[in-house]
Chain A
């Protein structure tokens, strides 16, 4: 009985994760008027995301949350580290990408 409850819980979360959330995210409010181009194309959404949270801010709010400011490593090492940190910190994909670009540019 208990195991079933636990499994049910897991299944629900998994379902939520793989289907419901994309739907929610897909229904993001349109980017704010001041800089939104006419059609909310995927590219404009990425721009909006970048505006909302610049790479520098993404770095500061994410990478200093758990530990001190880490030094930079080579781009290839940074990729591994960012993948590790994305999983550990449950960072969003956009933030992980922004921070990787920021740390390897």
Chain B
């Protein structure tokens, strides 16, 4: 692996560069954590957070139960460092009519990373991380966040986690434009809990805070036995006037095919009767398609992609008991040359967040 020494060099030179860049940065600009004038400085504390989910899904002749627990530990150091780690334990209990239950538990390390906030414009991340390709993998996949518990068909095109290094950050470019970027290099690993491909890539995006619109493009070059490119585009829009979220993503992998998903979610805050009930309710609709590649891996090999071109419609309803506990019900139908299929699911998703040191 002659790549490792090179990476170490790169990392070292970057830290040096970051140090120098910091001198350029206005010394009066406090870091995000610095105390504001007149207030005593308080230290950031470690936090145990994460989520627990219980989802049951049904399709004709088949029932599946998937309990998941994903604890996350956040440990801050000084003003500029954060260690974050997430483990995931996922059960899969399957039952086909007339057959006994089959069960399997998978555990994996989603990420274990050190974040160094080098300066205003650059954060260096080292370790195992969620690949910053598109929006679903890094931002939406936790069960308490995602609007529909079934993941989009094209999700396996976005490499889940990588082992290596990232440079990322956000910069205000103008009155209503922020530019943000995340670029990464990952080494291959076959170790089960740390599985990753050798790959390099980036996502860059423009975020318009007032319009609440973000548009991103992603690129990844996978450098495994076969080298191939994956490109992606993502879009997020939350109009100010309505409690509506719109998200969409397109991804195209040379080897594994292409597809997109479009999802709208509407929080029923404005219904004039049964207010308490409707305010906590959200309705969701998703349309998505996946196309197998003409050449390459139809069905995606180990990537759990459909075997043939598939179109799927899903609608759902979420009920938020609290900001951190929701009931999620969804139903969908998928159409493909292999046959059409209905899938219904019901689940509970809970996020816990426990500061590990006292009060203020």
Chain A residues close to B by CB (< 8 Å) = 2-3, 5-7, 9-11, 13-15, 17-19, 21-22, 24-26, 29, 42-43, 46, 49, 52-53, 57-58, 61-62, 64-71, 73-77, 79-84, 86-97, 100-101
Contact = CB atoms under 8 A, between A and B. Distances in A.
A22 B176 CA distance: 18
B120 interface: yes
Given A2-B227, A19-B17, A84-B74, A79 B120 contact: no
B355 A76 contact: yes
A74 B354 CA distance: 11
A30 B195 CA distance: 49
Given A14-B10, A19-B17, A25-B172, A76 B45 contact: yes
B67 interface: no
B276 interface: no
12 contacts: A3-B3, A7-B10, A7-B200, A25-B173, A61-B210, A66-B140, A71-B324, A74-B359, A76-B43, A79-B45, A87-B123, A93-B29
Contacts of A70: 323
Contacts, number: 200
Contacts of B123: 86-87
B209 A87 contact: no
A75 B169 CA distance: 24
B360 A87 contact: no
A45 B30 CA distance: 13
Given A79-B76, A86-B123, 15 more contacts: A10-B185, A13-B181, A14-B14, A24-B171, A29-B174, A57-B209, A76-B44, A76-B359, A77-B47, A81-B74, A89-B180, A90-B205, A91-B180, A93-B31, A94-B172
Contacts of A86: 32, 117, 123
B87 interface: no
B185 A42 contact: no
Contact of B172 (A17, A49, A75, A88): A49
A73 B355 contact: yes
Interface residues of B, number: 79
A82 B32 contact: yes
Given A66-B140, A100-B33, A3 B26 contact: no
B150 interface: no
A71 B221 contact: no
A31 to B, nearest CB: 10
Contacts of B76: 79-80, 83
B28 A2 contact: no
Contact of B121 (A22, A42, A75, A80): A22
A93 B168 CA distance: 12
Interface string B169-190: 1111111101011110100000
Nearest to B130: A88
Indicate the member of A22, A42, A43 with the most B CB atoms within 10 Å.
A22
A6 B44 contact: no
Interface string B123-139: 10100000000000011
B74 A53 contact: no
Max count, chain B CB within 10 A of own CB: residue among A9, A18, A52, A92 = A18
B21 A18 contact: yes
Given A64-B238, A65-B236, A90-B181, A84 B32 contact: no
A2 B225 CA distance: 12
